[in-house]
Structure formats: structure tokens, C-alpha cells
Chains A and B, each alone.
Chain A
């Protein structure tokens, strides 16, 4: 018998969707930090070839930390889909991740998230929700 709750309460839905968003944001931020620490991959490939570029990525511990969190986000998504309908989980996690990434990018990556980027994050967040719902 399916365990999916078709009309979940706010707290019930949050309990399953929040881990997806948190792990996904941690994964994206760590991966972005890893790629910034490695440097421009196009330049590395021009200098050391494709093998050199792959070596630069797979020898970076931050990259594996990022991929580890993205894998956790995937399993958290599978768990959420076991209890919540896809029509709620997919748009909610896809859209909210954009906003949490903007916040995390500003705090942890010290990116210049100006008014233009906030506006873009919010517009795309609402747009993705409407499109995926």
C-alpha cells in the first residue's frame, strides 16, 4: 500500500522537504567553492589537456564533499517522494533551492548578491514553481 499522504500538513511536508533543500544547498555551495579553488577549467584544459582538467577536479576534497551532499539530497528526495506527492515535492524543492542558494552564496561564498540577483532568484523561484506544479 502507498504511504503517500495526499493532503499533508505544513509541518509534515516541511519535515520531508527541508532535508532535500538543506543537503542540496550544501552540495551546490561546496561544489561551487571547489570549482573556484581549482580555477578556470577552460584555462586548465588549454594548458594541461582534458586529463589535466579531470585530475584537477578529482583531486579536490571539497568537490567530493559537494558531491556527497548532492547524493544525500537525492536520497532525501527519494524518501520525501515516499510520503509526499511528486506535484508538491518537485516544484517546492526546485524553486526554494534557488532562494536558499542565493542566501548561502552571499554568506559562505561571499558572492555579490545585489538587488538584481535577488530579484532574479525570487522571479525564477516563483516561475519554476508555477511551471513544475
Chain B
């Protein structure tokens, strides 16, 4: 049985999926909270917001997330990619704790432990469901 193990490059793409989405959301959130309130009667201000550094970085990171997510889905199962990349939530929690000095409750520490355990479980298994190779029966019949 072939075990679908990943190459270092594929691990790097999974890491990009995990990191880019939460970091992109954080950049968007940081950018939007720094802007003055945008009135629905002036939607043009939203377009200008796109060109501010935090929001532009957030959009760039989310585009990188989507590109790497699509790439990962082209060689791994959906039920492998989703739990494996949930580790990004843990990275963001650690960044919040040690970089932004935000406190983390006991509940959240338990959440971090459970996600880490879940990622460990899924990472031990194959990344892709094995499919039987199509048999060249039809061609053989034609030859006969």
C-alpha cells in the first residue's frame, strides 16, 4: 500500500494556508479599527480603505491563503487539509499571548491542546485517499 506522505514543499504550502488566513484577518481587523467610522452614505471611503497599508497587507495575505489552499486541495483530501491547517488558530493564540501580551484563559489553553492533538492525529495518516487505477479493459476489447 502506498502511503501518501508529503514533500517538504507541500508541508510549506500547508503552513502557508494555516498562517496566511488568520494573519490576513488580523491585518484587516487592525486596519479597519484604526480608520474613522465609515458611513454607508459614503461607500467610496471603503475603496480608499483598500489602499491603507494594513488592509492592503491583509488582502495580500488572504489572496496568498486562497492560492495555497487551492494548491493543497489539488494533492490532498479536504478532510486532511481542514484539520491540519486549523493549527493556524494556535499560532495566532500564541502570537496574541507572547507578542501582544493578551491573557489566555484556561478554556483557551484547553482549546489549543485539543487542536494540537487533532492535528497530530490527522498528520500521522495518509494525505490522500487511494483510488484504484482505471483498468484498460475497454481498449483491450477493441483490439480483439
**Chain A residues proximal to chain B, CB less than 8 Å:** 28-29, 31-32, 35-36, 38-42, 57, 98, 101-102, 105-106, 109-114, 116-117, 119-124, 126-133
Contact = CB atoms under 8 A, between A and B. Distances in A.
A61 B82 CA distance: 23
Contacts of B110: 127, 130
Contacts of B118: 119-124, 127
B30 interface: no
Interface stretch (B40-48, B121-129, B133-141): B121-129
What are the 7 closest A-B residue pairs judged by CB atoms, nearest first?
A130-B111, A127-B114, A123-B118, A131-B111, A127-B115, A120-B122, A124-B118
Contact of B77 (A38, A57, A98, A111): A111
Nearest to B121: A120
Interface of B: 9-10, 70-71, 73-75, 77-83, 86, 89-90, 93, 107-108, 110-119, 121-122, 124-126, 129-130
12 contacts: A31-B73, A32-B73, A39-B74, A98-B83, A101-B78, A117-B79, A120-B121, A121-B82, A121-B118, A127-B112, A127-B114, A127-B118
Main secondary structure of the interface of B (DSSP, over half): helix
Contact of B111 (A112, A120, A122, A129): A129
Contact of A42 (B71, B93, B108): B71
A36 B70 CA distance: 10
A129 B118 CA distance: 13
B76 to A, nearest CB: 9
Contact of A128 (B89, B117, B122, B130): B89
A31 B78 CA distance: 9
A130 B88 CA distance: 15
Contact of B70 (A57, A105, A126, A133): A57
B86 A110 contact: no
Contact of B74 (A38, A130, A131): A38
